[in-house]
Amino acid sequence: MEYLLKSKSSAIPCLIEADPDSNLYIIRSADTSGQSFNTKEELIRWVEENWNADDFEDPEKLRQAIKSISAY
């Protein structure tokens, strides 16, 4: 699963990628820095602690991405 989220502070979209089959969990922030995680729970926890839905042009997309990743 890959989610591109348009940040209000950057022309480059943020990225959340979760691929349980490959054990790949990564994010790319508005400043283009990245982070990788060992589990979906670690990824979700990081996003919840570091990103705010209101920082994105469509806050609901972030909520839906987290919900989808949690359910997978």
pLDDT digits (tens, 9 = 90+) for 2-57: 999 999 999 999 999 999 999 999 999 999 999 999 999 999 999 999 999 999 99
57: which 2 tokens? Answer: 């042009």
For 57, how many CA atoms within 13 A lie in the half-sphere containing its CB? 12
Query: Angle at which helices 59-71 and 40-50 pack, to 10 degrees?
Result: 160
- Write the single-letter amino acid at 54: D
Q: What pLDDT is attached to residue 72?
A: 82
Predicted structure pTM score: 0.90
Which DSSP helix (H) or strand (E) runs through 40? helix 40-50
